[in-house]
Structures are given as structure tokens and as C-alpha cells.
């Protein structure tokens, strides 16, 4: 392999070269801006990338997420292949191009355009046999990319074939970038096939060279195609900052920031900026969002919320509407915490609202027990649950104190989710004081909303916080209560705050399976659909909630169970009026199935 | 069976009309049609005609007993064929006739149908926070009427405080009922006065959102309730009901006039369960090709100028099949529907 052109230059490289310099400069400035916007503490945290464990995690995540798109593979094979073929294939072409330059024309090392247009500048020599390996792998990866591009084009028209009911609507910048991306690789194939008989090629470049010999052997056609290839690349780089493809470089930065422990604290700090630009608008969150049951509400899903943020437009409406069920975060292949961003939006708008929460008081309990039960507001509205709990505890002969039997002080989560941190803090302090002074060692909760709150926002050292689904399951396992079997079948609804929010999926299922046949629903565990009752939304009207409840019920009742069981009082209250079958809390079911 | 033909000028004697539902609207419609000379079949799915009035003690204004209203209809029901424990399975439409097949597989050919299937009482267990079915002291308006009818109310220990919760299952998006059930305000006031008549020393509290005293004489009873009986009216919804160690009900509400949360111990709490759609409406609407509103009640194409007309020529509505109504309104509508049937059939 040796150089064909003495100067190693042709004007057609200019579009690419200028585009490349532009994008590198843009990214450098962007990265510096993001790093500068970190506060001093966070800047210090950046040095943690030198800790080997962190470095390992960062590299691993970059390979798995940015190149191989493993998370998307897990959702849908074809969709995963589409993303990873383009990303990984392109990456390999660049790497291999550089290796070729290093091996065959080391004097051109460091010239930006040389590895990209390598085939144009070189010709085969007697060493070809050595180069044939590269011809093959280069063609192989090009083929992989082309198959990915073909899938991408197909997906634009038939997204459901790739496991997506709906895909993102694009705007001008996205479209130009998209079309130039689609063009890059077919043009590269064509361009390289021109020179396949000069600089070598393998099964596809050579093949095309043979097939269209009369066209590609005409030297007058060569340069225009290389120009076109270079222009497509240049155009892509120029539109990159205005398109969703900014996610390609930004995601790497996001992974770094995440692994050194930096988190979003405002809408435009370094981390959230990186999150916003890391969104590839793949649209996976659209199908996941319960609001997408209504087509006109797709505009409120996270992908569009983040686009509003990126354009610095007003994002208040989607932020307030969101149910905060966290499913979009769960399925996001980039791991963008859009719920947190929405929460920050709300803090800006609602943080100043102030009420007085001081008048409510707990009656001081007459006895001290190791077990303290706190039902919370929602359980006080569903007395069947607290009644069932007291029956179960009595049967297991466990004495306990019911902290809020008479009146309850809210756990603070609704205020926290509405963005009023100050108000939430006030409630947290009041509850915390009462719980600690009760001298309990275990805090039993019925409401997953409270559970998440007590677990994460209360500093209850030495006190075990446990949800009743887990607690009762342990009672059964330790034979403190014995359950009989029934022939009824049931389906279990994962409450957002217990499942995705706290990672409790198995214990309630184990408990139910010990009493009856537990049926599956198509979307369950972390894919479960919010019941629609979530107090996470500030502004969602009942009409919209009803549609979501209906959609969630349809999913749950797919396999026609006799009973819908959940472990959240709010889900129970939301499903009951609309469910034609019985809805029950897991504690109710247990209290009915207990053998004395 | 004689089939009326257009060429024969048969009088009404030979025209059959079906009335579906034996509540007060159905009974009135049937008797009006009979009086106009039609052969009427009244189909009732329950064991006896009378509908919700069978379980109601007294009606206001006038304080007449429900049983006297029903007895009045039944003692004058000769000429009306009443089929109880019967429902409609299907209907076949031909030019000017409808052939209806009942659950006992009888075919009835009629010229018109009046749907008087009424309403259902809201299932108060859905509003779990009020504790119906969980606490002994919590009953519904219908339960209280049953206690009045049977006289068992006198067997109960005298309560020191009784509460009445308005709008249970009405005007409540959370249980998917946005509509007002119209008569519960009046029922609550009436029942509060009745309780005070039985136990004058008992304190009575009505928890309301708005008091909709729309009928003649209703406002008068509201004044009487306050001035004569001393019933307390608290503007605000009940948020939750609990039970203390002594079995007393602990009711939490908001007094919106003083902007303060309120907690009160009661011995008895009466829930004004609202009127909701009859669950059979959907199936019946499919059989008779009529339409149903978002609230599940039958929908009239012209509710203002033709409140008893449906989208099918030979199908009419009367009573609370088309939304919550008082007894008086249902009676009126039944007469109106009978007249509409007569105007249609007498011209054929």
C-alpha cells in the first residue's frame, strides 16, 4: 500500500475538514462551558475519574451504552441492532481507518481527513495481501452500518415493526442531520467502490466496482462522488449542534459526570445541560409514558419536555402534568433523569408557596412498642387496609403502636413532588421527631409514597423502614401467620413508588403466590403502567387520569384474573371505581386468607 | 296475535305498548297508556313492581308514604299485564312493529316501548374513606329509610349525634360521577328532621357542598330544619371517617365557612348515596338502538323540547332513566311519554 498522490491532498476534503474543525471547536467550547458551570465541589469530584474503579465503570458504560446500546437491545433486538450497528460500525471504521494510516502511511499520521478518505489517496502494492484483511473488515463494518441505516429508514415509516408504537417528530435541524447521516454511508460505499480496483476493496466495494464497471471506471465520475461523500460528512457535522445527534458526543460526558457522583441541582447546571444534550430523542419514552394513551398528549412526554428545555422554552406545562411515575427514566437508554429535571422546574415555580403546617399534632402514644405503624393520609382514606393490618398483626401476636390512627401528619412527599421543599422539610421534621421519640425499631408503612419518602428523605438511623407487603411476606415465611390457598386468580399491579421507586417487585408476588395463582400482565415490574391516580401530577384533570386508569386496567386484566391486587392505597382508590372486577390491597387479601 | 295493518283503521285497543321497568315512572306510564286505550305490558326485573319506592318510607313535600303511592298504582292496575322477574333479551324491528323477546322466551309484539328503567343507588363502599361496610355506625340514606319502614330504628340505641354526608358518589370526579343527583340534599334535610322527630335531643349535622333546594317547598323544609329542629349545617366535605376504641365514629371534615378543619365524634353517619346509571342501560341501549350519555344514563337527542324522545321513533324514555329525577318529575315524564306514544300511534 503506498500513496497515490504526492501531496496527500485534494480540495474535496475541505467540506469534511471544515465541518470537523467546527464540530471539534464547538464540542471543546461546550465541554469547557459545562465544566466551568460546575460548582467547586463538583469540579473536585471530577478528579474521581482517576480512581480505577470509576475509570473502569466509565469505560464500560461508554462501550456498553454509547457503542453497543445494550439497553436498547434488551428492549427490542431489531431496535438495538439498528442503534448499535450505526454507532459501533462507524466507530470501528474510524478506528480501523486510523490503524491503516498508522500501518501503511505513517508519514500522514495526525492529518484529520487522511484516515477518512484513505482509499482515495492510496494504491495497492505487492503488500496487498497484508492489506486484504483491512479491506475485508472495512467492508464488513460498512455493510453492518448500511444494514442499520436501512433499518433506520424503515423505522421512520413503520416504527411499530421495531417495537415502537410511536417515534419522535423531528424538526428542521434533526431532519437535515438525519438525511445527511443516511447519505454518508451509501456515498462512502460508492466512493470507495470507485477506487476499489486501485486502492483495494473487498466483497462489497469490489463487487460494486465490478457491477457498475463502465460507470466507476470513468475517472470523470470519481471526484464528484468523493465530493458528495465529503459534503455529506461536512453537513452532518455542521448540523450536529442543532440536532439530536449532539447526544453522540454529550453522552460520553454525561457518563463521566454521573460516575464521579455529580447530580442535577438546577435546570442549566453542568449535569442537567449534559443530560439535555444527551437526549437522542429516540422516542422510547413516548410509548412508556401513560399520557401517550391519548395521542394529543404525546407532546407532554419527556422527549419533548427535554427538547423544550434545550431550546430554553417554557416547559412548565409538561413538568406540572407529569405523573412522576418514573417509567420514562426507567426505560431511557441514556439514563436521563427527566423526573428530576421536572422536579427542578416545579421548584422554580412552586417553591415559594408557603403554608403553615404546624397546627397538626400527634397524640402521645400511651405505650412504647418496637413496631410503629404509620398509615399516612392515603391509608386513612382506605380504612380497609389499616383494618387488615391490625387483624394480621393481632393474629401474629405482635403488639404495635398506630402513630396516626387519630390524625396524620403528611409524610411530605406530595409537597416535595410539587416543588415545595421548604414545606416538605417542615413535615419531615415533625414526623421524624414523633417517630424517633416513640422509641421504635421498625417503622411499618402501608403507603408506597410514604415508604419512599421515609426511606430516602428521613434520616431514621437505627430504625428499619418496611412496607407492609414485605413485612407480611416475612411473617408468612417465618410462620407467624399461616395462609390458606384459594382457587381465585389474581394479577399484581406494581405501584410506581414501590416498584420503580423502591425496587420492590418480588416480595408481594411471592406473598400472593402463596395464596392463589398469580397471573402475568404484559407490562409489569418496572414496565408497569401508573394507575393514573398519582399525586405526582400538579395539573392533570380527572378526565385525563381516567383514560390512563383505563389503559392501565386493560393491561392488568389482559389474562382475565378474578382479582386485581395492589399494595398502594392510592392505586386501590383509583382502580376501584373503574374496575369491573374486585380490586384489593395485598393486606386485605392476606387478612381474608389467614388460618387461625 | 293481531297485527295492525295500515289499511285497517283499528282503534287503539289493538295496539300494544311495552313499558320497561316497574318503578313509579313505569307504573304511571302503563296506567296512562291503559287509560288511553292501549294494551300495555309492564316488564319488571324485580320480584314486584314499585322500584326504589318499595324501600322508601316517606316522601316530601307532603310527608306521604311511598307505599301509598305504589298501592295507588297497583290497586288500579287492571288491564295492565305485569310481568315480574322478567328482563328483555332482544328486539326485532320491522316496519311499524317491534318484537321483543323476554327472558322467559316470550315474544311480545308492540308498536312502541317506553324505557323506565330508572337509576341505581351508588355503591357507597367505593368511597372507602367514609367507612361504609367497615363501621357499624355508617349507613346509607336507603338503609335509613329501610329502618324507618321496618320500625327497627326504634330498636337502636338513641344516638347523641348523627351526621349526614351529602354528595356521596355525586359531583365527584374521583368516582367518575360528575353529575348532581338532585334529590339527596332534600333527602338529607328530610331524614335529619325525621331523626329529630324520633330523638329530639339528638344533635344532627349535615355536611354539604351546596344545598340545592330547587323544588317548591324544599327551601321551606330547610328553614324548618334549622329553626324548628335545630339541624346543624356545615359547608364542607367530609374527608375521612374513622372509629375510636369505643366504637364512636370520628369524622373529619372541613368547615369552609370558618376555613377550619373540623373533627367530630358521631354515633351514626348517614351517607347520601347518589343516583347513578342503571347497569343494564348499556345492553338495553344496544337492543333498542338508542344512545347513552357519558354519565351512562340514556341520552335524548332533544332533551329540552322533547325530553321523552329517543333517537328511535318507537322508543321513549320516562323517569330517571335519563338522569336523576324526583318522584314528581318521574310521574310527569311518564304521563308525557304516554302522550307522545299516543300521538305517534293514533296517527298511524
Q: Which of left, alpha, beta for A124 (phi over 0: left; psi -120 to 50: alpha)? A: beta
Contact call for B131 and A380, based on CB within 8 A: no
**Angle of CA points A125, A127, A128, to nearest 5°:** 75
Residues A342 and A375 in one domain: no
Q: Quote the pLDDT of residue B3.
A: 42
Residue A356 pLDDT class (50, 70, 90 cuts): low
**Within a domain: B3:** no
B41 and B111 assigned to the same domain = yes
Over the Cα atoms of chain A, what is R_g?
30
Q: What is the pLDDT of residue A230?
A: 93
Min distance B239 CA to chain A CA atoms (Å)? 8
Q: What angle do CA A165, A170, A174 make, to 5 degrees?
A: 130
Integer Cα distance of A161 and A60 in angstroms = 30
Same domain, A43 and A153: yes
Q: What does pLDDT average to over chain A?
A: 90
The reported pLDDT for the residue numbered B7 is: 38
On whether residue A114 sits in a domain, the answer given is: no
In chain A, how many domains are there?
A: 4
- Which chain A residues in 402-461 lie under 8 Å from chain B, judged by CB atoms? 405-407
Mean pLDDT value across residues A322-347: 93
Average pLDDT over residues A111-133: 77
**In whole angstroms, what is the distance from residue A464 CA to residue A119 CA?**
66
B contact test, residue of A382, A576, A584 with most B CBs within 10 A: A576
> CA nearest B252 in A: which residue?
A407
Decide if B265 is inside a domain: yes
A226 and A194 in a common domain: yes
pLDDT of res. A361: 75
Overall average pLDDT of the A175-195 stretch = 90
Q: Which residues of A touch B252 (CB under 8 A)?
A: 407
- Distance from the Cα of residue A105 to its chain's centroid: 43
User: Do B39 and B133 reside in the same domain of the chain?
Assistant: no
Asked if A381 lies within 8 A of B240 by C-beta distance, the reply is yes
A427 in any annotated domain:
yes
Q: Is residue A562 part of a domain?
A: yes
The secondary element (H helix, E strand) that includes residue A129 is helix A128-157
Which residue, of B252, B275, B298, is where some domain finishes?
A: B275
Decide if A299 is inside a domain: yes
Q: Are residues B113 and B250 part of one domain?
A: no
C-alpha to C-alpha distance for A385 and A378, rounded to whole angstroms: 10
Asked if the C-beta of B97 comes within 8 angstroms of chain A's C-beta atoms, the answer is no
Residues B59 and B113 in one domain: yes
CB < 8 Å to B128, chain A: 381-384, 572-573, 576
Q: Are residues B328 and B257 in the same domain?
A: no
Q: A341 and A235 in one domain?
A: no
Q: Are residues A388 and A426 in the same domain?
A: yes
Q: What residues of B are in contact with residue A383 (Cβ under 8 Å)?
A: 128-129, 131, 134-135, 240-243
Looking at the fold, whether A35 and A152 belong to one and the same domain comes out as: yes
Domain that holds residue B291: 12-118+278-345
A285 and A174, same domain (yes or no): no
Q: What is the 3-state secondary structure (H, E, C) of A320-388?
A: HHCCCCCHHHHHCCCCCCHHHHHHHHHHHHHCCCCCCCCCCCCCCCCCCCCEEEECHHHHHHCHHHHHH
Q: Is B334 on the interface with A (CB under 8 A)?
A: no
Residues in chain A with CB shorter than 8 Å from the CB of B135 are 383
Query: Quick check: B289 contacting A, CB < 8 Å?
Result: no
In this structure, are residues B80 and B37 in contact, taking their beta carbons and an 8 Å threshold? no
Concatenating the DSSP letter of every residue in A52-116 gives HHHHHHHHHHIIIIIIS-HHHHHH-HHHHHHHHHHHHHHHHHHHHHHHHHHHH-GGGTT-TTTTT
Place of cell 395521542: A295
For residue B336, being part of any structural domain is answered with: yes
Q: Is residue B291 part of a domain?
A: yes
CATH number, domain with residue B25: 3.50.50.60
* Continuous segment of H or E residues that includes residue B98: strand B98-102
Same domain (yes/no): A506, A447: no
Residue of A nearest to B173 (CA): A542
What is the tally of structural domains in chain B?
2
Residue A195, all three cell numbers: 477506487
| Residue B6, in any domain of the structure | no
Same domain as A132, residue A48 = yes
> Among residues of chain A, what percentage have pLDDT more than 70?
97
Q: Tens of pLDDT along A517-541?
A: 999 999 999 999 999 999 999 999 9
Q: Is residue B111 part of a domain?
A: yes
- Return the C-alpha cell found at B199: 330523638
Beta strands (DSSP E) in B229-320 are 232-235, 238-243, 249-255, 260-266, 268-273, 275-277, 291-292, 298-299, 315-317
Per-residue confidence (pLDDT) for residue A400, from 0 to 100 = 94
In this complex, do A382 and B131 lie within 8 Å of one another by their Cβ atoms? no
CA distances from A198 to A120, A222, A540 (A): 9, 12, 65
* Residue range(s) defining the domain that contains residue A272: 261-350
Listed residue (B7, B38, B88, B23) closest to B341, CA to CA: B38
Name every chain B residue with its beta carbon within 8 A of the beta carbon of A381.
128-129, 239-240
Q: Which three cell numbers stand for residue B138?
A: 355508617
Residue A360 belongs to some domain of the structure: no
- List, as ranges, residues 380-399 from A with C-beta within 8 Å of B: 380-384, 387
- What pLDDT is attached to residue A126? 65
Q: What confidence category does residue A353 fall into, taking pLDDT thresholds of 50, 70 and 90?
A: low
The reply to whether residue A383 touches residue B263, judged by beta carbons under 8 angstroms, is: no
The answer to whether the CB atoms of B129 and A577 lie below 8 A apart is no
Predicted confidence band of residue A168 (pLDDT cuts 50, 70, 90)? confident
Q: How confident is the model at residue A128 (pLDDT cuts 50, 70, 90)?
A: low
CA distance B282 to chain A (A): 14
The 3-class SS string of A240-269 reads HHHCHHHHHHHHHHHHHHHHCCCCCCCCCC
Bridge partners of B266, per DSSP, are: B249
Grid cell, residue B180, equals 348532581
**pLDDT recorded at residue B30:** 97
What does the alpha-carbon distance between residue A202 and residue A189 come to, in Å, rounded to a whole number?
11
pLDDT tens profile B261-288: 899 999 999 999 999 999 999 999 999 9
Domain check: are A287 and A232 in the same one? no
Q: Which of B275, B308, B335 is the last residue of a domain?
A: B275
**With an 8 Å Cβ cutoff, are A382 and B242 in contact?**
no
CA dist A241 → A135, A250, A493 (Å): 33, 10, 42
Tell me whether residue A557 is in a domain.
yes
Closest CA to A321 of A117, A532, A474: A532
CA distances from A283 to A252, A265, A402, A516 (A): 20, 25, 46, 38
Closest C-alpha among A311, A229, A174, A237 to residue A27: A237
Domain co-membership, A45 together with A136: yes
Is B195 found in the same domain as B62?
Answer: no
Residue B108 is assigned to a structural domain of this protein? yes
Q: Does A188 lie in the same domain as A73?
A: yes
Q: Which residues in chain A are closer than 8 Å to B175, comparing Cβ atoms?
A: 577
Give the pLDDT score at A417. Answer: 92
Q: Is residue A390 scored above 50 in pLDDT?
A: yes
B positions 218-277 inside 8 Å of A (CB): 239-244, 250, 252, 263
Size of interface A-B (CB pairs under 8 A): 40
Round to whole Å and give the CA distance between A424 and A418.
Answer: 10
- What's A556's domain CATH number? 3.40.50
- B71: nearest Cα among B84, B54, B58, B87: B54
Q: Are residues B172 and B248 in the same domain?
A: yes
Q: Is residue A339 one of the residues assigned to a domain? A: yes
Sign of CA dihedral A124, A130, A132, A135: negative
**A-chain residue closest to B176, CA distance:** A577
Residue A5 falls inside a structural domain: no
Given the DSSP bridges, would you call strands B16-20 and B39-43 parallel, antiparallel or unpaired? parallel
Query: Both B19 and B103 in a single domain?
Result: yes
Same domain? B264 vs B145: yes
Report the residue from B128, B174, B263 with minimal CB separation from A382: B128
A 522-551 residues with CB below 8 A of B? 542, 546
- Under a CB-based contact definition with an 8 Å cutoff, are residues A356 and A339 in contact? no
Q: Do B292 and B202 have their domain in common?
A: no
CB B306 within 8 A of CB B300: yes
Which residues in chain B come in under a pLDDT of 70? 1-13
Q: Do B44 and B86 share a domain, yes or no?
A: yes
Specify the DSSP element, H or E, that contains A286. helix A284-288
Contact: A381, B129; criterion CB under 8 Å: yes
- For the stretch A162-177, what's the b/e string if a residue is b when 16 or more beta carbons lie within 10 angstroms of its beta carbon? bbbeebbebeebbebb
Within 8 A of B244 by CB-CB distance, chain A residues are 406
- State which residue of chain B sits closest to A546, comparing Cα positions: B176
Residue A523 confidence (pLDDT):
94
Residue in this structure with the C-alpha cell 307505599, named with its chain if needed: B67
CB contact (8 A) between residue B174 and residue A542: yes
Which of the four pLDDT bands, split at 50, 70 and 90, describes residue A127?
Answer: low
Task: Give domain status of residue B1, yes or no.
Answer: no
Amino acid at each position: 500500500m503506498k500513496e497515490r498522490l504526492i501531496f496527500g491532498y485534494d480540495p474535496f476534503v475541505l467540506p469534511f475538514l471544515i465541518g470537523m474543525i467546527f464540530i471539534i471547536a464547538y464540542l471543546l467550547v461546550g465541554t469547557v462551558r459545562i465544566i466551568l458551570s460546575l460548582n467547586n465541589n463538583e469540579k473536585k469530584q471530577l478528579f474521581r475519574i482517576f480512581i480505577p474503579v470509576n475509570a473502569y465503570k466509565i469505560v464500560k458504560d461508554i462501550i456498553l451504552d454509547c457503542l453497543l446500546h445494550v439497553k436498547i437491545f434488551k428492549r427490542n433486538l431489531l431496535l438495538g441492532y439498528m442503534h448499535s450497528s450505526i454507532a459501533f460500525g462507524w466507530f470501528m471504521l474510524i478506528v480501523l481507518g486510523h490503524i491503516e494510516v498508522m500501518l501503511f502511511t505513517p508519514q500522514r499520521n495526525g492529518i484529520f481527513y487522511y484516515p477518512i478518505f484513505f482509499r482515495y489517496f492510496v494504491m495497492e502494492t505487492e503488500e496487498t495481501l497484508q492489506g486484504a484483511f483491512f479491506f475485508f473488515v472495512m467492508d464488513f463494518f460498512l455493510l453492518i452500518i448500511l444494514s442499520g441505516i436501512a433499518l433506520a429508514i424503515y423505522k421512520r415509516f413503520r416504527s411499530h415493526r421495531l417495537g415502537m408504537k410511536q417515534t419522535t417528530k423531528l424538526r428542521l435541524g434533526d431532519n437535515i442531520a438525519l438525511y445527511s447521516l443516511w447519505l454518508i454511508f451509501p456515498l462512502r460505499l460508492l466512493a470507495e467502490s470507485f477506487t476499489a480496483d486501485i486502492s483495494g476493496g473487498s466483497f462489497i466495494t469490489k463487487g460494486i466496482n465490478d457491477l457498475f464497471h463502465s460507470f466507476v471506471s470513468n475517472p470523470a465520475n470519481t471526484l464528484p462522488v468523493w465530493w458528495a461523500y465529503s459534503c455529506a460528512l461536512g453537513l452532518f457535522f455542521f448540523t450536529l449542534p442543532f440536532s439530536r445527534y449532539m447526544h453522540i458526543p454529550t453522552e460520553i460526558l454525561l457518563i463521566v459526570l454521573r460516575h464521579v457522583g455529580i447530580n442535577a441541582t438546577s435546570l442549566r447546571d453542568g449535569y442537567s445541560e449534559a443530560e439535555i444534550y444527551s437526549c437522542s430523542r429516540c422516542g422510547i419514552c413516548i410509548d412508556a409514558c401513560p399520557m401517550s394513551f391519548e395521542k394529543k398528549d404525546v407532546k407532554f412526554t419527556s422527549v419533548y419536555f427535554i427538547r423544550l428545555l434545550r431550546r430554553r422554552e417554557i416547559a412548565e406545562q409538561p413538568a406540572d402534568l407529569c405523573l412522576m411515575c418514573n417509567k420514562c427514566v426507567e426505560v431511557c437508554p441514556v439514563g436521563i433523569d427527566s423526573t428530576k429535571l421536572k422536579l427542578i422546574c416545579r421548584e422554580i415555580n412552586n417553591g415559594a408557596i408557603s403554608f403553615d403546617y404546624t397546627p397538626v399534632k400527634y397524640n402521645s402514644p400511651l405505650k412504647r412498642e418496637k413496631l410503629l405503624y404509620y398509615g399516612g393520609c392515603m391509608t386513612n382514606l382506605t380504612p380497609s387496609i389499616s383494618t387488615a393490618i391490625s387483624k394480621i398483626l393481632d393474629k401474629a401476636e405482635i403488639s404495635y403502636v398506630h402513630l396516626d390512627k387519630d390524625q396524620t401528619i403528611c409524610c411530605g412527599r406530595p409537597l416535595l413532588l410539587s416543588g415545595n421543599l421548604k414545606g416538605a422539610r417542615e413535615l419531615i421534621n415533625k414526623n421524624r421527631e414523633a417517630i424517633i421519640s416513640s422509641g421504635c425499631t421498625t417503622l411499618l408503612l402501608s403507603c408506597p409514597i410514604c415508604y419512599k419518602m421515609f426511606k430516602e428523605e428521613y434520616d431514621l438511623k437505627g430504625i428499619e423502614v418496611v412496607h407492609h407487603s414485605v413485612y407480611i411476606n416475612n411473617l408468612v415465611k417465618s410462620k407467624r401467620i399461616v395462609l390458606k390457598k384459594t382457587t381465585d386468580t389474581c394479577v399484581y399491579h406494581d405501584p410506581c413508588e414501590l416498584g420503580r421507586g423502591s425496587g420492590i417487585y418480588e416480595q408481594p408476588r411471592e406473598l400472593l403466590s402463596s395464596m392463589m395463582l398469580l397471573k402475568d400482565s404484559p407490562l409489569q415490574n418496572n414496565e408497569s403502567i401508573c394507575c393514573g391516580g398519582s399525586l405526582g401530577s400538579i395539573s392533570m384533570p380527572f378526565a385525563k387520569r381516567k383514560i390512563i386508569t383505563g389503559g392501565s386496567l386493560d393491561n392488568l386484566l389482559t389474562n382475565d384474573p378474578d382479582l386485581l391486587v395492589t399494595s398502594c392505597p392510592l392505586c386501590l382508590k383509583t382502580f376501584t371505581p373503574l374496575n369491573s372486577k374486585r380490586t384489593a390491597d395485598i393486606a386485605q387479601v392476606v387478612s381474608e386468607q389467614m388460618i387461625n | 296475535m293481531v297485527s295492525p295493518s295500515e289499511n285497517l283503521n283499528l282503534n287503539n285497543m289493538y295496539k300494544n305498548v311495552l313499558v320497561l321497568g316497574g318503578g313509579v315512572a313505569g307504573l304511571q306510564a302503563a296506567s296512562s297508556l291503559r287509560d288511553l286505550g292501549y294494551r300495555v305490558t309492564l316488564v319488571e326485573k324485580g320480584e314486584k313492581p314499585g322500584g326504589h319506592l318499595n324501600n322508601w318510607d316517606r316522601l316530601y313535600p307532603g310527608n306521604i308514604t311511598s307505599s301509598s303511592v305504589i298501592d295507588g298504582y297497583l290497586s288500579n292496575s287492571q288491564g295492565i299485564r305485569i310481568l315480574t322477574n322478567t328482563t328483555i333479551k332482544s328486539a326485532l324491528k320491522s316496519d311499524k312493529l317491534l318484537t321483543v323477546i323476554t327472558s322467559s322466551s316470550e315474544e311480545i309484539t308492540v308498536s312502541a316501548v317506553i324505557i323506565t328503567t330508572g337509576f341505581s343507588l351508588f355503591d357507597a363502599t367505593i368511597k372507602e374513606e367514609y367507612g361504609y361496610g367497615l363501621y357499624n355506625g355508617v349507613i346509607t340514606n336507603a338503609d335509613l329509610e329501610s329502618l324507618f319502614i321496618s320500625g327497627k330504628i326504634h330498636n337502636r340505641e338513641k344516638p347523641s349525634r348523627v351526621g349526614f354526608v351529602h354528595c356521596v358518589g355525586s359531583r365527584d370526579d374521583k368516582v367518575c360521577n360528575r353529575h348532581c343527583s338532585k334529590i339527596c340534599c332534600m333527602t338529607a334535610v328530610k331524614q335529619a328532621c325525621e331523626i329529630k322527630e324520633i330523638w329530639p335531643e339528638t344533635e344532627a349535622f349535615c355536611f354539604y357542598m351546596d344545598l340545592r333546594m330547587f323544588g317548591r317547598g324544599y327551601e321551606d323544609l330547610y328553614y324548618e330544619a334549622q329553626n324548628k329542629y335545630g339541624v346543624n349545617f356545615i359547608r364542607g366535605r367530609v374527608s375521612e371517617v374513622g372509629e375510636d376504641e369505643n366504637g364512636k365514629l370520628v369524622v373529619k371534615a372541613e368547615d369552609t365557612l370558618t376555613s377550619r378543619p373540623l373533627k367530630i365524634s358521631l354515633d351514626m353517619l348517614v351517607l347520601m348515596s347518589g343516583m347513578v346509571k342503571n347497569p343494564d342501560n348499556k345492553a338495553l341501549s344496544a337492543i333498542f338502538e338508542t344512545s347513552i350519555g357519558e354519565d351512562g344514563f340514556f341520552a335524548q337527542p332533544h332533551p329540552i323540547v322533547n325530553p321523552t324522545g329517543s333517537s328511535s321513533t318507537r322508543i321513549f324514555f320516562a323517569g330517571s332513566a335519563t338522569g336523576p329525577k324526583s318522584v314528581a318529575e318521574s310521574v310527569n315524564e311518564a304521563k308525557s311519554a304516554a302522550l307522545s306514544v299516543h300521538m305517534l300511534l293514533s296517527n298511524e
